[in-house]
Amino acid sequence: DKTEQPTQKVQLAEVLKKYWGYESFHDLQLPAMSAVLENRDSLVVLPTGGGKSLCYQAPAMCQDGMAIVVSPLISLMKDQVDALNANGISAAYINSTLSNAEKWNVSEKIQSNDLKLLYLAPERIGAGRLLDMLTAANVSFIAIDEAHCISQWGHDFRPHYRELKQLRDRFQNVNLHAYTATATQRVRDDIAQQLGLRDPEVLIGNFDRPNLYYRVAKKNNLLNQIQNVIERHPKGAGVVYCISRKEVERVTLQLQGLGYRAASYHAGMSDEDRAANQDAFIKDDIQIIVATVAFGMGIDKPDVRFVIHTGIPKTIENYQQETGRAGRDGLESECHLFFGGNDFRTWKMIMSDQPPAVQKVSLASLQTMLDYCHNINCRHRSLVQHFGQELNKDCETACDVCMGEVEVIKDSLKISQMVISSVYRQQERYGMTYTSRVLKGASDERIIANNHTELSTYGLLQEYPLKGIQDWIGQLVGQGFLYQDESEGFSILKITESGKQLLKGEVTPRLTVPTTTEKKSSGSKAS
Ligand code: ADP
């Protein structure tokens, strides 16, 4: 009697409904789950909130044996296991927070085949005895969460992830599945290579968030700029991201001083204070959380209406994740990035204790972030391009560029040609500050000694503020007409191929109206 085998899809849908109460799959969840059931290695890239966990949790319930899940965050591990247990799924975790008795308890469950999912911290893999026990157990498959942690090209490299290589050797016939929200080609390739994935099914989700409105602006009177955003959402929850703890404290006080219900969140606070503030935010007891990057992992508040950055984030990945915390309910939400001032230097200081090789990657990522700020293309397009995707068309209505809020100057081409020909006449041997001072017509000793007062470009932009000239150079770098060569240990401006085309008038750059001219009368000084 051959009753019809339920198809994978039906089986997965049943599991989804039975254990989670969900009626449908999110984008790419079904193919990702199918890869697991078909015993094919996979690399799944879904943006934050895309539902990665279910991609391995659901198939674990359709198979015999126990799935191993490697996850880097101890706190999230406990939350996930608690949630699974609450749904009637037999799951456990092993990490450094467990007492010996608890570890024994889990070991027994492993040995008696009681578990469907076992969460492990990556550093546990190195512990030989555990690995022996797991080799003896019936392992259905291995899921590596936050797989970008294995790559030093990613934004969150964790050396312990390198030990995961052993899994491939130990579990020759068990399939490996990697999950991440970071999808640059380089990181993707690195994950596959480091883990030794075999002909993996590569699934990449859609990174565009059409309901988010992106704006990027230079900082000038930051508090005012923040307040303007909040005032558009008098009742809406919002997150204000700052680079440093000190700035978090300061902005919180400033906002409280203006009567807003705001609280801080950063790694320097006690666990209790942090948890209390996060809780108050989730329950809408406060409107605004002012935070460092420490805030947000695993927080699932659907109705965040705005995310503000008071300085450039460390990487585009960070920016995508942090802004991605807005509008998870699908409703329109705003993301504002205010940049400039000392952002770059502040990050450089924070990164100064990194090993040189790591620091080099960090600085390159920071420069990419800065280029994004200076780039005057559709923001949605620029963001998804970073994640290796293309949009069919610009967003048209959901970013400052498409909405014409970024004022482009009429003389963009002429001014750009002046800048680039100055770089050319200086024989591409000087940096941004020097070049801007030549164009401004400054009588610095160095400029005089180099005889650059005699260049035809000397003083050509003297009517513009020096800061404005520097911004334009930054914009030309951001738009790919110039680049900063760091090979000699300091930044030297060089002209790219499209920069040469620009000199011939074959392509047109877009420079913004300088916003940094200080209005001396206003009397209010930022910071
Ligand atoms: P990620 O790890 O990709 O950031 P999560 O796995 O935390 O995403 O999922 C984000 C949220 O979406 C969670 O609250 C999860 O329960 C929910 N979710 C995931 N898949 C589905 C689905 N198919 N239907 C409804 N909700 C889902």
Provide DSSP, 501-517.
HHHTTSS----BPP---
**Residue whose CA lies nearest to ligand 1 atom number 17:** 51
Q: Report residue 297's pLDDT band, with 50, 70 and 90 as the boundaries.
A: confident
Model pLDDT, residue 1? 42
Coil/strand/helix, residue 14: helix
Nearest ligand 1 atom, CA 24: 23
Contact 101, 152 (CB under 8 A): no
* pLDDT higher than threshold 80 for residue 154: no
Tens digits of residue pLDDT in 115-134: 999 999 998 887 778 888 99
Structure tokens at 263: 């609280």
Task: Please name the helix (run of DSSP H) or strand (run of DSSP E) that holds residue 484, with its range, or none.
Answer: strand 482-485
Structure tokens at 363: 């600085």
Q: What is the total residue count of the chain?
A: 527
In whole angstroms, give the CA distance from residue 287 to residue 226: 14
ipTM of the prediction greater than 0.95, yes or no: yes
Residue 81 region, left (φ>0) first, then alpha (ψ -120 to 50), else beta?
alpha
Contact 495, 424 (CB under 8 A): yes
CA of 29 relative to ligand 1 center, distance in Å: 10
CA of 26 relative to ligand 1 center, distance in Å: 8
Contact 486, 360 (CB under 8 A): no
**Ligand 1 in contact with 25 (CB < 6 A)?**
yes
Closest CA to 322 of 70, 27, 49: 49
In whole angstroms, give the CA distance from residue 350 to residue 169: 38
Mean pLDDT of 52-66: 97
**Residue whose CA lies nearest to ligand 1 atom number 5:** 51
**Ligand 1 in contact with 22 (CB < 6 A)?**
yes
Calculate helix-pair angle for 379-386, 356-374, nearest 10 degrees.
160
* pLDDT higher than threshold 60 for residue 519: no
**Ligand 1 in contact with 71 (CB < 6 A)?**
no
Question: Would you call 206 exposed, middle or buried from its count of C-beta atoms within 10 A (0-12, 13-18, 19+)?
Answer: middle
Best of 16, 20, 146 for a ligand 1 pocket test (most atoms within 8 Å of beta carbon): 20
Q: Report residue 41's pLDDT band, with 50, 70 and 90 as the boundaries.
A: very high
CA of 54 relative to ligand 1 center, distance in Å: 7
Instruction: Name 372's Cβ contacts closer than 8 Å, sequence gap at least 6.
Output: 216, 316, 319, 382, 383, 386, 478
Instruction: Name 476's Cβ contacts closer than 8 Å, sequence gap at least 6.
Output: 416, 419, 420, 482, 499, 509, 511
CA of 325 relative to ligand 1 center, distance in Å: 13
Residue with tokens 């990487």: 315
Structure tokens at 314: 């460390």
Cα torsion 196, 202, 208, 209: sign: negative
Mean pLDDT, all residues of the chain = 91
CA of 292 relative to ligand 1 center, distance in Å: 24
**Ligand 1 in contact with 50 (CB < 6 A)?**
yes
**Ligand 1 in contact with 19 (CB < 6 A)?**
no
Structure tokens at 378: 């559709």
* pLDDT higher than threshold 90 for residue 440: yes
**Residue whose CA lies nearest to ligand 1 atom number 6:** 51
